[in-house]
Amino acid sequence: MAVQEHIRNFCIIAHIDHGKSTLADRIIERTGLLTEREMQSQILDNMELERERGITIKSQAVRIVYKAKDGQEYIFNLIDTPGHVDFNYEVSRSLAACDGAILVVDAAQGIEAQTLANVYMALDHDLDVLPVINKIDLPSAQPDRVINEIEDVIGLEAQDAPLISAKTGQNIDEVLEQIVTKIPAPHGDPDAPLKALIFDSVYDSYKGVIVFFRLMDGRIRKGTQVRFMATGFTTEVVEVGYFGAGQFIPCEELSAGMVGYMTASIKNVRDTRVGDTVTEALNPCSEALPGYKKVNPMVYCGMYPADGARYGDLRDALEKLQLNDASLFYEPETSVALGFGFRCGFLGLLHLEIIQERLEREYNLDLVTTAPSVIYKVHKTNGEVIDLTNPTNLPDPSEIEYMEEPIVDAEIMLTTDFIGPIMDLCQERRGQYIGMDYMEETRALLKYKLPLNEIIYDFFDALKSRSRGYASLDYELCGYERSELVKLDILVNKEEVDALSFIVHSATAYERGRKMCEKLKDEIPRQLFEIPIQAAIGSKIIARETVKALRKDVLAKCYGGDITRKKKLLEKQKEGKKRMRQVGNVEIPQKAFMSVLKLDDN
Amino acid sequence: MKDYEIYVHVPFCVKKCAYCDFLSGPAPEETRASYAAALEREILSGDPQPGTVISLFIGGGTPSLLDPALTDRILTSLYRKHSFSPEAEITIEANPGTLHLDKLKAYRRMGINRLSLGLQSPRDRELQILGRIHSFRDFLESYDLARKAGFDNINVDLMMALPDQKREDWQDNLRTVAGLQPEHISAYSLIIEEGTPFAEKELNLPDEDTEYLMYDDTEQILASLGYGQYEISNYALPGRECIHNIGYWIRREYIGYGLGAASLVGEERWNNTRDMGRYLAGGDLRTDRESLSDRDAMAEQMFLGLRMTKGVSRSLFRENFGVTPEAVFGPVLRKYTNLGFLETEEDHIRLTRPGIHVSNQIMCSFL
């Protein structure tokens, strides 16, 4: 077993696509943990979806042995962190498990909003940050400019930052050496009471929950009685070990400074919350590690199986996904329009999209998803306060004293050319200007307070299109503010379609109502009768469109005896109908429920 | 003994029309002769069929393009193999420009008693757009000759919703043709089919509302001139409804001979091969065999029967399947009856006039 001063616990932080996972692969490859033949591209992102989207969704860890130039062997524990604002809390817990961080910056693109957010978070955790300039093989690479930017903007010494290409492997050795020299060995007392930080956990159908942790103090081995301090859950350790590449390697004991895993026949990831402290039940540490919080979903939507008969399959799939994802919330709900389904809660839009995609791909489910909603606080006249996650459940306006909505602190990094259009966008989305910092001549950081419900409604798309992709966003929930909110209902053929209701600020209600009606008019095919589509606030109609009746749908053609052909045409038509939802007498295509999420046509 | 029908396909024409996606095309005389020989072989080698033939339809393509001697051989082999009712309706399709008096007289001698003339339009400009080989004048000549030869049962095919056609144009077309008092008029809408020259072109087609009105005009104008509508696209003087056509909609059994021809025997449907080489070579010609379940057959009985203005006979349905249509299709029948698209009168369930306009929507609900 290595002594503590030969351990280096670190993570890699980067903006999306700046090469974090590729660098991780090179490090693993260079230290000989895997031969190249065994290397599957990007070891750490092992979910199919992670590889495809180039993002990390779950934290992962790997232990590598590196023989340094000083002749000594070092143990590197590389903890891979999720790279998206939705998973900020997970990122912060992963960082807390490290002693240093490699900051990867793209030599062509420079610092982005997420880079900054992550670096500041790392510095907050007292990590030593080791900058690395990646993609120097690109023709557009400007390493000098980026080095200056790192020094000016972040204030990190970057003159001797390794200039590397993770893709070609150029200068990776220098990164490895700097890990040894610049990242400190872990502190911690192996003889103190056990104190370990959970940074992730996964569910395994044989071993139960496998808990990933970093030991701050003490030791842990098979048979140790442990207690999870926040949840109070107590159990006996069955196995401890460390992380090979894609496999778990059991060992006798783990001690202070080490990173590893334990199993203890734990059935539920909710008992092993990320950020919780593990201690010895009989000899507990005096206080838990700081920073634990129970993460709560910020964004909710309804998810319904396109085929009602697959409700049970959807429930089973959600249950399985939740085994690995304590932040995924779901509970059954019923919609008049969509039948039986679930109200699901997510950390953010990306989290929502990922779960939706995994359900569709890994579980082969066809889903209808309703417009995402944030949690509104409804203060009722009787003094009661309810957290509203489904617009349909909004109490009668006469019972409402006032409502509050969640507000975020948003930081938008952008090139100065786009300051105008992006400020317009934030203004349209009810943003409150806080300030602007120039990073260098051509780049600025724009700060706004924005209502979260404006962000979850196609803000990313609008940001990207209005900045031609040159703006990036980071945000953090900062609290609730009182707001003039109304519930907008959509009536199709005079019947309210509950799945289309949503909460909106009263100032934008007319505009949104009009756009909704227009969009639905395009999405709902003509049927055997005229269909009015109306937007209403309470009993007041604020917008109306009409889908004209289908006048003609007749095959006035002779097919002779070729009935099969005629039948095939009718079957095709019937298939089309099957993909629709029956609401009253009206057939609404499933994509209509989702198309209303994207109304911005700028 | 069961009545049944026979269809014979002749896949030859002088020149392919711009809208046509039927299995047909020009071919040299030798091919036509070997095809007739192959047809004869197919007819004679088939299993004997119990029952009586009450209609025969020789369609295409342009069957009148065949040398009458070949047509005669085909008919002779049919008469040899099958037992025809003395009143059987025997139709041949013909195009103006391919007929002369001797040919027509020969048809009569062979027992052909009904002629279906592919006119499509009495306007030469429209004929040109469609890529037809004849003028209206050619048609009038053929029509007169047919009468002279003794044909007292003639159908004329017309097409509506043609490129550049105005509603008034169509009304005139109807009056012109009905003025000649053929016994039967088929009026089809032009449908742009994939793979045809029309599909590649920018066409100035009448809009949906105009087509809707044209369709209603057809029924009204023809009714005023003595023609009753009995099917979505077919109109006839009293008693002159096409037996063969009706057979398809009431699911009478039929045997198809020739390239690509479809058959329904028992509850089995199949098509002959569409590959000319394979057809001429003989052997097993059948493809796409499909055994219909009771449910399939019941659905067919409904959506096919609804093509007829008379509708689906409930007693026939019960006779065939031992249950009423209501027992099987109750919710669908109720839904469309309530919406005013279906109605039940005594023994028949039929589409209302508004229902006919959107018939596909209703028909597909039975599948």
Q: What is the CATH number of the domain that holds B133?
A: 3.20.20.70
Q: Looking at the complex, does the CB of residue A552 fall below 8 Å from at least one CB of chain B?
A: yes
Contacts of A558 in chain B (CB under 8 A): 186, 188, 233
Q: Looking at the complex, does the CB of residue B188 fall below 8 Å from at least one CB of chain A?
A: yes
**Residue B92, beta-bridge partner list:** B58, B115
Q: Would residue B236 count as lying in a domain?
A: yes
Cβ-based neighbours of A371, under 8 Å, separated by 6 or more: A301, A457, A500, A502, A596, A597
Whether residues B315 and B190 fall in one domain:
no
| Residue ending a domain, choose from B233, B248, B263 | B248
Yes or no: say if A11 and A79 are a contact pair by the CB < 8 Å rule. yes
Q: Would residue B234 count as lying in a domain?
A: yes
Q: Do A556 and B233 touch (CB under 8 A)?
A: yes
Best of A526, A527, A528 to disrupt the B interface by mutation (most B CBs within 10 Å)?
A528
Question: By CA distance, what is B57's nearest residue in A?
Answer: A560
**pLDDT tens readout for residues B133-154:** 999 999 999 999 999 999 999 9
User: Minimal Cα–Cα distance from B304 to chain A, Å?
Assistant: 9
- pLDDT at residue A323 greater than cutoff 90: no
Q: Looking at the complex, does the CB of residue A563 fall below 8 Å from at least one CB of chain B?
A: yes
Q: Looking at the complex, does the CB of residue A529 fall below 8 Å from at least one CB of chain B?
A: yes
Whether residues B97 and B181 fall in one domain:
yes
Contacts of A584 in chain B (CB under 8 A): none
Encoded tokens for A35: 């031969």
Whether residues B218 and B311 fall in one domain:
no
- Tell me the residues of chain B between 331 and 360 that have a Cβ less than 8 Å away from chain A: 339, 341, 356-360
Yes or no: say if A193 and A284 are a contact pair by the CB < 8 Å rule. yes
Report pLDDT for A599.
65
Whether residues B52 and B194 fall in one domain:
yes
User: Minimal Cα–Cα distance from B339 to chain A, Å?
Assistant: 8
Whether residues B58 and B189 fall in one domain:
yes
Whether residues B244 and B306 fall in one domain:
no
Question: By CA distance, what is B357's nearest residue in A?
Answer: A552
Contacts of B360 in chain A (CB under 8 A): 553-555, 569-570, 573
Report pLDDT for A46.
52
Q: Do B361 and A550 touch (CB under 8 A)?
A: yes
Cβ-based neighbours of B124, under 8 Å, separated by 6 or more: B135, B136
Encoded tokens for A524: 């709902």
Question: By CA distance, what is A565's nearest residue in B?
Answer: B262
Task: Please give the residue range of the domain that contains residue B360.
Answer: 294-367
**Angle at alpha carbon of residue B119, lines to B116 and B125, rounded to 5°:** 175
Report pLDDT for A49.
53
Tell me the pTM. 0.68
Strand, helix or coil at B207? coil
Most confidently modeled of A112-116, A596-600, B122-126? Answer: B122-126
Q: Left, alpha or beta for B282 (phi > 0: left; psi -120 to 50: alpha)? A: left
**pLDDT tens readout for residues B80-117:** 999 999 999 999 999 998 999 999 999 999 999 999 99
Interface A–B counts its CB contacts (< 8 A) at 95
- pLDDT at residue A326 greater than cutoff 80: no
Whether residues B231 and B157 fall in one domain:
yes
Report pLDDT for A35.
47
Q: What percentage of chain A exceeds 70 in pLDDT?
A: 92
Among B194, B232, B170, B222, which Cα is nearest to B357's? B232
Whether residues B140 and B225 fall in one domain:
yes
Among B244, B259, B262, B255, which Cα is nearest to B10's? B259
**Residue B355, beta-bridge partner list:** none
| Residue ending a domain, choose from B248, B277, B306 | B248
Return the residue matching tokens 């009009």.
A514
Question: By CA distance, what is B299's nearest residue in A?
Answer: A567
B300-316: average pLDDT: 95
- Position A293 confidence tier, pLDDT thresholds 50, 70, 90: confident
Contacts of B365 in chain A (CB under 8 A): 574, 577
Domain count, chain B: 2
User: Minimal Cα–Cα distance from B119 to chain A, Å?
Assistant: 15
Contacts of A571 in chain B (CB under 8 A): 364, 367
Q: Looking at the complex, does the CB of residue B136 fall below 8 Å from at least one CB of chain A?
A: no
Whether residues B223 and B325 fall in one domain:
no
Q: What is the CATH number of the domain that holds B332?
A: 1.10.10.920
**pLDDT tens readout for residues B29-86:** 999 999 999 999 999 998 888 999 999 999 988 999 999 999 999 999 999 999 999 9
CA atoms within 13 Å, Cβ hemisphere of A255: 14
Whether residues B327 and B228 fall in one domain:
no
Encoded tokens for A362: 């890994």
Q: Do B191 and A529 touch (CB under 8 A)?
A: no
Yes or no: say if B154 and B184 are a contact pair by the CB < 8 Å rule. yes
Q: Would residue B272 count as lying in a domain?
A: no
